[in-house]
Chain A
């Protein structure tokens, strides 16, 4: 049993299998990329969609038939690969491709939205420096622990200032690959785009929602931590992550205090917070940023 999707292709209504829908969508996207810069791109796409719609109509035997992968593949055979859509630029591009190989050095720094634990900063920097994200993360984790929290502030600043690689061309330049159609197409084929991204975004929203609420309950003391702990116990890995995050938490408290001496926060606040022992909004904000973020680790582990 498969899920079907309803699509409107050139004002015609179709039932399409979910897998087939993904394929068709990626195909159309890859085609669009191949003449995106051209004048009348929208019009060309409209023509192509109209034709595909016409071909589907011809192929369907009755109105309620669902379009499957088979039909989509047939359409692609008829319509051709994205490369076939490129006209006279083809020869020019193959020439520029050679020079593009030099542009491998022209990497740009982006956050990696596909490979995220927190903000994709570390994996982005990893791509930039040519380090595997796992190793980059390990180094970052060590820095987290050793720098006593100041790394956290740097991280947050980087999070704010480094743009996320959203478009396929940005993703390719992040990895230092030259931007040409076959690369873009390959990228799309890899399915790193849209669908998986959206799935991850959903998780991300879920997680960020949860950790926001956990920061709110921070006022109630360590209750939230226990709550998270209980959640995390569901599996051992989750628990390990939580212990790790607790260690980070302690480190962060030190970082918190050093933040006063670093001048990020006024000393009045620092004294006040020490005397009263009750955090107010500034502390809650700082707490939100500094303490909430490591909660990603137990949460990701726990989920």
Chain B
């Protein structure tokens, strides 16, 4: 069992949830999404995000449009779809449940000690 791998798996598990939340707050283009994720220390490497964004888009949770930028090539701006908002709600719920459950378990452990 590799501890780094476990950490990465943990982050990966909530990455979709985070991406959807970020985009729900504000339409963003790929680099902005990346920097937001990095600020939140959700990302170690950027590579993981690209296949994920495409997959979210293909399952119609996200859509995108191209926007011209003043400093370089056009940017791909992502926005959340109706279906995406619904999924996000579900994920919100399960995150809260998970958070509660984990807190419950870890804190009850402390008490027994």
Chain A interface residues (CB < 8 Å from chain B): 10-12, 31, 35, 38-40, 43-44, 47-48, 50-51, 53-54, 57, 77-82, 84-88, 91
Cα distance A85–B58 in the bound complex, in angstroms:
17
Question: Does the CB pair B54–A51 fall under 8 Å?
Answer: no
Question: Which of B54, B58, B73 contacts A10, CB < 8 Å?
Answer: B73
Cα distance A54–B47 in the bound complex, in angstroms:
14
B14-57, CB < 8 A from A: 30-31, 34, 44-48, 50-55, 57
7 CB < 8 A contacts A-B = A50-B30, A51-B50, A79-B45, A80-B44, A84-B47, A85-B50, A87-B48
Cα distance A44–B30 in the bound complex, in angstroms:
12
Question: Does the CB pair B50–A48 fall under 8 Å?
Answer: yes
Question: Which of A12, A57, A79, A88 contacts B47, CB < 8 Å?
Answer: A79
Cα distance A53–B9 in the bound complex, in angstroms:
28
Q: Residues of B within 8 Å of A, CB-based: how many?
A: 21
Question: Which of A12, A54, A81, A85 contacts B51, CB < 8 Å?
Answer: A85
> Which residues from A are CB-within-8-Å of B73?
10-12, 50, 53-54
Q: Is the interface of A mostly helix, strand, loop or mixed?
A: helix
User: How many whole Å from A166's CB to the nearest CB in chain B?
Assistant: 26
User: How many whole Å from A52's CB to the nearest CB in chain B?
Assistant: 10
Question: Which of A12, A53, A78 contacts B45, CB < 8 Å?
Answer: A78
Given A10-B73, A11-B73, A12-B72; A48-B54 close (CB under 8 Å): no
Question: Does the CB pair A84–B48 fall under 8 Å?
Answer: yes
Cα distance A42–B47 in the bound complex, in angstroms:
15
Q: A11, A40, A57, A91 — which one has the most chain B CB atoms within 10 A of its CB? A: A40
Q: B44, B48, B50, B76 — which one has the most chain A CB atoms within 10 A of its CB? A: B50
Question: Which of A38, A40, A51, A80 contacts B48, CB < 8 Å?
Answer: A80
Given A11-B73, A12-B72; A47-B46 close (CB under 8 Å): no
Question: Does the CB pair B58–A47 fall under 8 Å?
Answer: no
Cα distance A11–B72 in the bound complex, in angstroms:
10
> Which residues from A are CB-within-8-Å of B58?
39-40
> Which residues from A are CB-within-8-Å of B52?
87
Sample of 20 further A-B pairs with CB below 8 A, known A80-B46, A84-B48, A87-B52: A12-B73, A35-B51, A47-B50, A47-B53, A47-B54, A47-B76, A48-B47, A48-B50, A50-B76, A51-B30, A54-B31, A54-B73, A57-B72, A79-B45, A81-B45, A84-B47, A85-B50, A85-B51, A86-B51, A87-B55
> Which residues from A are CB-within-8-Å of B54?
40, 43-44, 47
User: How many whole Å from A92's CB to the nearest CB in chain B?
Assistant: 13
> Which residues from B are CB-within-8-Å of A91?
9
> Which residues from A are CB-within-8-Å of B57?
40
Interface 1/0 per residue, B67-82 and A, CB below 8 Å: 0000011001000000
Given A50-B76, A87-B55; A31-B47 close (CB under 8 Å): yes
